[in-house]
Structure 1
Amino acid sequence: MATVAVVGMGAMGSVYAGLMQDAGHIVYGICLWDDHVAAIRERGLRVHGASGDRTVRLTAASATSAGIGPVDLVIIATKSFDVEQAARDARPLIGPRTVVQTIQNGLGSPDRVAGVIGAERLSIGVVGGFGASVPEPGTAHHNGMELIRFGSYGKLPFDEVERGAKIWRTAGFNVRLFEDVERMVWEKFIMNVTFSGTACLTGLTIGEVLEDEDAWLVARACGEEAIELAGVKGVPLDVGDPIEHIRRLGSAISAARPSMLIDALEKRRSEVDAINGAVVTAAKGTSVSTTVNATVSELIRAREKTYL
């Protein structure tokens, strides 16, 4: 049994917390969404979907880390634009043996977390094939449960990365460890880039994007720009044909709506700058054209200005 703090209890963070608590771990959920925290306290946290259906009572759910103290594992599961504040909030949870895992979509979040807490205890996580959402406060649903990947940010010894991963395995998660974290991140990144922006703009699920000729044309072009950029940067993608890899993973969670689409429907800030926009930023100074990702990003930002 381990003590775990999940900082950021959105869809994915709630799935992590619920399954870990169900496995017998001591889990603290830290979340700024008042309605979600209130529902969890009143009725428990329901997690349903690919893993089954259960309602659990977290050890505690609150808006702060006050009073918890150092834990075995800290999972930072906020959106990419909130990671610095989440890292600051997580400081009281980190002891000399705590493993900190930061799990976000896109590029850049681990660097920002390390800037706050240092690199010594930090592990990078990448999650694929879940398609999670929060249908109502106190409830998390996920369409799949494919794979979670972890690697060291640089200074955390590999056996400590493994110690953190073991907690996930005891809760039923499929986990692999990577020494090449850049490859690990980019193999998920190309999937996010392909579906996130296109789904956000069209309102289509992943499966509907794959089936619609026009939507897939845009989505595929977004992915191809990211794939080309990975090649130029010397990032090895060990997935066979990258586009077929993306199609296969997308087909496995065809009913899922990418988080950027959910954010748009809820009129919340999206992670466009860390996903499609990050392709444009990362390509500066290279020969890679990012016209499609730039256009998709600009349209999303323009729409967000109408409600943010």
Structure 2
Amino acid sequence: MSGDDTVLVWGGGAVGGTVAAYLARAGHPVTLVDRDAAHVAAINEAGLSVRGPEGDFTVRVDAVRPQQLAGRFATVLLAVKAHHTEPAATAIGPHLAAGGAVVSLQNGLCELTLSRVLGREAVVGAFINFGADVTAPGALLYGNRGAVVVGELDGAARPRTGRLAALMRHFEPEARVTDNIWGYLWGKLAYSALLKASALCDTPLAAFIADAELRALHVALIGEILAVAAADGVRPVGFNGFDPAPFAAGDREGIDRSIAAMAAFNGASAKQHSSTWQDLAVFRRRSDAAAQLAPVFATADRHGVAVPCNRKLIELIGQVEAGRAARGADLVAVLCRAGAA
């Protein structure tokens, strides 16, 4: 199950499963770890199936549950929800080969937790922006391509980073290396605040982003996170239509152009709702929205930056998760009032 060239993908859901399927189709030996017994059983019985605009295929992948895993691996791609990062990192530790690397294919600033548990030298940062969903055990929807970037946490250029980017090109041909991975991660946090907010109702993501009546909300959510990043000395990077510069500068025309490009990017995807929406509306489970923004709030507190709109967003998502609030236009209106305050 292990070896120098075997890639361990920890988390076989939308992100990890899709990447694992493409790597396996390209001929890389892959071991997939997932907690869902039905998902693991379906993969081992009939293969891992991916469908979507990028093509349909089924590929054989070795899949196990965490307690079944044996061996050590030099390359680990971590693709669990942000609030599952610490237990996953603890479980990965005994299976990480000496000098091996764990690459975070996650949303948020999970690299901070991974560094604390596994040591900073074992962690490589990554930024992803493709859309995917689990549609059934062993079955995935790959909604659209998106940027894939890897980078060392200290910005240094190392041979392993180039090797990891080359590996990821079997999934995304334009995957590349950056010396500013934190800029990408903070940029994604700002952009994804809109994705999280869209989960408060059933409006498709592209329409939610394009809604002119929600423009003040969009600006507030994105602007707050960019302000925290600036206070922490981070230079956020744009991608797939999102340009942080006009939001940071209050450039209304630039904001409108970026919003239009973001809506177009998401409108072209077969995935019409955010992962947070999937958690709340489909699976009826706790999302990782709070875990993604927890380090943002901690950084905001450290620098004295106010983020009331994003705090209200997490409060409202928490109310939905606890069954104390119902998703819908009224809940979006509550968040809009927080953005206008």
TM-score (norm 1): 0.89
Residue 208 of structure 1 and its aligned partner are, at CA, apart by 1.9
Q: Find the aligned partners of 1:270 and 1:167 in 2 and give their Cα distance.
A: 29
* Equivalent residue, structure 1, for 2:231: 232
Q: Find the aligned partners of 1:84 and 1:194 in 2 and give their Cα distance.
A: 26
- In structure 2, relative to structure 1, the CA distance for the partners of 1:71 and 1:247 (3 Å cut) is farther
* 1:249 and 2:262 are equivalent in the alignment: yes
TM-score (norm 2): 0.81
Instruction: Decide whether the 8 Å contact of 2:286 with 2:321 is kept in 1.
Output: yes
How many equivalent residue pairs?
Answer: 303
Q: Find the aligned partners of 1:272 and 1:278 in 2 and give their Cα distance.
A: 11
Q: Find the aligned partners of 2:125 and 2:277 in 1 and give their Cα distance.
A: 25
* Equivalent residue, structure 2, for 1:150: 150
Q: Find the aligned partners of 1:220 and 1:213 in 2 and give their Cα distance.
A: 11
Instruction: Decide whether the 8 Å contact of 1:206 with 1:251 is kept in 2.
Output: no
Equivalent residue of 1:95, what SS? Answer: strand
Instruction: Decide whether the 8 Å contact of 2:195 with 2:276 is kept in 1.
Output: no
- In structure 2, relative to structure 1, the CA distance for the partners of 1:247 and 1:118 (3 Å cut) is farther
Residue 277 of structure 1 and its aligned partner are, at CA, apart by 5.2
Q: State the AA in 1 paired with 2:183.
A: R
Q: Find the aligned partners of 1:64 and 1:287 in 2 and give their Cα distance.
A: 41
Instruction: Decide whether the 8 Å contact of 2:22 with 2:170 is kept in 1.
Output: no
Root-mean-square deviation (CA, aligned residues, Å) is: 2.4
Q: Find the aligned partners of 1:27 and 1:273 in 2 and give their Cα distance.
A: 31
Q: Find the aligned partners of 1:276 and 1:73 in 2 and give their Cα distance.
A: 27
- Farther-moved stretch of structure 1 (283-292 vs 199-208): 283-292
Q: Find the aligned partners of 1:305 and 1:167 in 2 and give their Cα distance.
A: 40
Q: Find the aligned partners of 1:111 and 1:263 in 2 and give their Cα distance.
A: 24
Q: Choose 1 or 2 for highest CA Rg.
A: 2
Q: State the AA in 2 paired with 1:47.
A: V
Identity percentage over the alignment?
A: 26
Structure 1 ranges of 4+ moved more than 6 A: none
- In structure 2, relative to structure 1, the CA distance for the partners of 1:233 and 1:117 (3 Å cut) is closer
Deviation per residue, 1:40-87 (Å, 9 max, x gap): 1121111122431110010x1111264542224100110111111111
Structure 2 gaps, min length 5: 239-244, 248-254, 325-341
- Farther-moved stretch of structure 1 (251-260 vs 77-86): 251-260
Which of 88, 106, 114 is residue 104 of structure 1 equivalent to? Answer: 106
Residue 230 of structure 1 and its aligned partner are, at CA, apart by 2.2
Q: State the AA in 2 paired with 1:262.
A: Q
* 1:192 and 2:205 are equivalent in the alignment: no
Q: State the AA in 2 paired with 1:125.
A: A
Residue 227 of structure 1 and its aligned partner are, at CA, apart by 2.0
* Equivalent residue, structure 1, for 2:66: 64
- Farther-moved stretch of structure 1 (13-22 vs 271-280): 271-280
Q: Find the aligned partners of 1:276 and 1:94 in 2 and give their Cα distance.
A: 28
Which of 2, 7, 11 is residue 10 of structure 2 equivalent to? Answer: 7
- In structure 2, relative to structure 1, the CA distance for the partners of 1:39 and 1:246 (3 Å cut) is farther
- Farther-moved stretch of structure 1 (236-245 vs 67-76): 236-245
* Equivalent residue, structure 1, for 2:334: none
Equivalent residue of 2:323, what SS? Answer: coil
Instruction: Decide whether the 8 Å contact of 2:194 with 2:209 is kept in 1.
Output: no
* 1:270 and 2:287 are equivalent in the alignment: yes
Residue 88 of structure 1 and its aligned partner are, at CA, apart by 1.9
Instruction: Decide whether the 8 Å contact of 1:133 with 1:140 is kept in 2.
Output: yes
Q: Find the aligned partners of 2:299 and 2:79 in 1 and give their Cα distance.
A: 23
- In structure 2, relative to structure 1, the CA distance for the partners of 1:174 and 1:93 (3 Å cut) is farther
* Equivalent residue, structure 2, for 1:126: 127
Equivalent residue of 2:286, what SS? Answer: coil
Deviation per residue, 1:174-222 (Å, 9 max, x gap): 21211122212112111111221x1111122221202334444433321
- Farther-moved stretch of structure 1 (142-151 vs 8-17): 142-151
* Equivalent residue, structure 1, for 2:82: 80
- In structure 2, relative to structure 1, the CA distance for the partners of 1:288 and 1:111 (3 Å cut) is closer
Q: Find the aligned partners of 1:4 and 1:90 in 2 and give their Cα distance.
A: 13
Instruction: Decide whether the 8 Å contact of 1:230 with 1:236 is kept in 2.
Output: yes
Residue 173 of structure 1 and its aligned partner are, at CA, apart by 3.9
* Equivalent residue, structure 1, for 2:114: 113
